[in-house]
Amino acid sequence: MRLFAALVPPDEVLDEVERAIAPHVGQVPGLRWPDRATWHITLGFFGEVPERALPELETRLARAVHRHHALDLAFAGFGAFSSVRRARVFWIGVTGDSMTRLADSVRAGARRAGAAQTDAKPLHPHLTLARAKTETDLRPLVESLSGFSGSPWRAEAVRLVRSSGGPQVRYESLAEWALAPAERD
């Protein structure tokens, strides 16, 4: 089964993002806009994980998550991978508390559990909004959204998610662990 660990933002902040991009959905040739139900911020992608490794993975991820505090975050700044001029992925960035230590802990726990990690890139906190099969110039789109700044929100839990492919990608939450209360509380 294909697994990843993620933060799932609250509905009210996703509503803001959805309203900001709504006038552009379907307007850029070649961009595919996934269903909002699939929106998440990936902390670690583990690829194919054998069923027998799941209990150990859940134990190690729970330990990793509980060592970290809730994060105060906000959405700001649209961009693209590999670049705005030659994009295949259109995203919105995440600002606020650093997620790097949390992501590193989650990834280390997965490695110790034997989950084959295919996500060795440094963390670039973002929420993917659209994808293109071929490189697409998204400068006009990114520029038109440059004034957006989302409301602050608190990430309080990490989910382990199973991804099922096919014509319509589906995600199923397998487990969720609470982060420790924020240090500022």
Q: Is the pLDDT of residue 84 over 60?
A: yes
With tokens 């194919």, the residue in question is: 48
Note whether 32 and 167 are within 8 A (CB). Answer: no
CA–CA dist 100, 24 (Å, integer): 31
Phi-psi region of 180 (alpha: psi -120 to 50; beta: other; left: phi over 0): beta
**What is the distance of C-alpha 40 from the center of its chain?**
4
Helix crossing, 54-66 with 100-112: angle to 10°?
150
Q: Residues 40, 68, 69, 124: which is the catalytic one?
A: 40
What is the pLDDT confidence band of residue 22, given thresholds at 50, 70 and 90?
Answer: very high
User: CA 26, 73, 64, 126 torsion: positive or negative?
Assistant: positive
- % of the chain at pLDDT higher than 70: 95
Per-residue b or e along 149-167, where b marks 16 or more CB atoms closer than 10 Å to that residue's CB: ebeebbbbebbbbeeeeee
Mean pLDDT over residues 62-70, rounded? 96
Per-residue model confidence as pLDDT tens digits over 136-182? 999 999 999 999 999 999 999 999 999 987 667 789 999 999 999 97
- Complete domains list, the chain, with CATH: 2-178 (3.90.1140.10)
Q: Structure tokens of 16?
A: 């803001």
Rounded Cα distance between 31 and 87, Å, is: 10
Higher per-residue confidence, 152 vs 114: 152
Tell me, what's the pLDDT at 182? Answer: 76
Please, which pLDDT band fits residue 99 given cuts at 50, 70 and 90? very high
**Structure confidence at residue 19 (pLDDT):** 97
Distance (Å, whole) CA 29 – CA 15: 24
DSSP 11: H
User: Catalytic: 40?
Assistant: yes
Task: Inform me whether the pLDDT recorded for 185 exceeds 60.
Answer: no
Q: What contacts 143, CB < 8 A, 6 or more positions away? A: none
- Show the tokens assigned to 148: 């957006």
